[in-house]
Amino acid sequence: MHITLYDIERESYKESLLHRMDGRIKMLMTLVIIIYVVSLPRLDIVTIERLGILWLYLVALIIVAGLNPVYAAARIAITLPFGLGVSILQPFIRQPFITEFNVLYKLGLGISVTAEGLLFGSVLFAKFMVCVTAVVLLSSTTQMRDMVASARRLGLPSELTLLFSMMIRYLFVFWGMLRRIRTAQKTRCFNIWNKNVPRRWILEQIGYSISSLFLRSYEQGERTYYSMLCRAYSADSQICVVTQKVGASDYMMFSVTLILIGLVQFCI
């Protein structure tokens, strides 16, 4: 399954307990989980148990949020290659911060699998997996504009808020433009792997598409800027953000998460 901006946006517009939560609480919750996960010791078998429980909790939240399971699995799967690649290599590497290695298997050519490397690789992968799942949950239950508004209310500087709130509006414009360029190229049988045309020509076409995307976004920026000026925009303009009150269910979700982290940390 190929995931695009549209899929993420569609999921984030669903209705559920998690979708209704205040954006600030959801962002803080995600941040707390990720920081806790990253701070766990990297050479401890218990870390994997702790991460396993947190991961199951996040999966349960994904189910409660009513996300499409194929979508959620695909979202997680497409981000895995880098983390998986790095983790798989660990058993074969002598990590500089580990002083003693117990060799499990010798593979010849000086390559061997170490117990410490195996543990380290598993912990890395588990950490990566939990963090990715947390971000997938956040982005699938929170509309982008809510995230920007929440970030603003959490203290993001007004200039960055302006940049992000406008950028997410144009993401779809230029994503659509990219799609139209691709469709147009397809109708003309353009294929980047076509061996019957010179490679140079193919690269030129891609370069032209990229320069066209660059110019069109630049010009869109200019147009928007001038129309903002017409509507009396100035450097001191204030951004209006949607406000939502933190409700009882938000406090509840946040406390449940904190209690779970506490239990995982002190009872395992």
Partner 1 sequence: MHIGDGLIPLEQTIIYWLIALVFIAKSLEWARKDLDEMKIPMLAALGAGIFAIQAMNIPIPWGTSGHMMGAALAAIILGSPFAGVLLLTLVLVVQGVVFADGGITAMGANIVNMGVVGGFVGFYSYNALKNSIGMTGASFAAGWLSIFIASLVCAVQMYFAGIFPLWEGLLLMGLYHAVIGVVGEGLITAIALNRIMAVRPDVVSEKSIPGVGVAA
DSSP annotation string for 182-231: HHHHHHTT--TT-TTS-HHHHHHHHHHHHHHHHHHHHHHHHHHHHHHHHT
Min. distance of Cβ 246 from partner 1 in angstroms? 21
Nearest residue (CB) to partner 1, 225 versus 247: 225
Give the C-alpha distances (Å, rounded to integers) separating 21 from 26, 54, 142, 251.
7, 20, 9, 9
Min. distance of Cβ 146 from partner 1 in angstroms? 12
Handedness of CA 187, 193, 197, 200 (dihedral sign): positive
The whole-angstrom distance between residue 246's C-alpha and the CA centroid of its chain comes to 24
Nearest residue (CB) to partner 1, 46 versus 160: 160
Nearest residue (CB) to partner 1, 44 versus 204: 204
Helix (H) or strand (E) holding 107: strand 103-108
Min. distance of Cβ 262 from partner 1 in angstroms? 18
Nearest residue (CB) to partner 1, 10 versus 252: 10
User: CA-to-CA distance for 142 and 136, rounded, in angstroms?
Assistant: 10
Min. distance of Cβ 248 from partner 1 in angstroms? 27
Min. distance of Cβ 17 from partner 1 in angstroms? 21
Nearest residue (CB) to partner 1, 49 versus 204: 204
User: CA-to-CA distance for 25 and 154, rounded, in angstroms?
Assistant: 10
Nearest residue (CB) to partner 1, 153 versus 249: 153
What are the residues whose beta carbons fall under 8 Å from the beta carbon of 110, sequence distance 6 or more? none
Min. distance of Cβ 250 from partner 1 in angstroms? 20
User: CA-to-CA distance for 25 and 233, rounded, in angstroms?
Assistant: 31
